[in-house]
Amino acid sequence: MALALSTTLHTSFNDAVERTRKALSEQGFGVLTEIDMKATLKAKLGEDMEDYVILGACNPPLAHRAVTVDRQIGLLLPCNVVVRTDPNDPNTVVVDAMNPQMMVQVADQPGLAEVADDATAALQTAIDSLKADTAKN
């Protein structure tokens, strides 16, 4: 099973972040948290890295369904989405969304399968819309 649902974009990093936020919003996800790994690692460790942001995305109806099945599933929420510059190609941005099917594998609760399927469909639609936007440009 793949860890992520992914796409590659040929745009600026800031544009990719903005478009990812919009694509998530169109599928009912809000961004609850944002971690700028580049800035954090520079500030805390003095280490340099490429642009790398983790968006903690949450779709409230899906999250509610998941925690109704298993209260501990909150440990795997929100759905993380990473927007990162490819370290081998600074003109390429990769968007990776956590594969919600991992939730089913980890929790092993039969009632989570339907929630994971719905979350996967919504995140895949968001990822696919990023590809579609790229084709238009």
pLDDT digits (tens, 9 = 90+) for 14-38: 999 999 999 999 999 999 999 999 9
The tens digit of pLDDT for each residue in 37-63 reads 999 999 999 999 999 999 999 999 999
Percent of the chain whose predicted confidence (pLDDT) is above 90: 84
Task: Compute the distance between CA of residue 76 and CA of residue 121 in angstroms, rounded to an integer.
Answer: 18
pLDDT tier, 135 (very low <50, low <70, confident <90, very high otherwise): low
Q: What is the C-alpha separation between 78 and 33, in angstroms, rounded?
A: 9
* 3 state DSSP class of 52: strand
Confidence of residue 133 (pLDDT cuts 50, 70, 90): low
**Global pTM value:** 0.91
State mean pLDDT over 111-130: 95
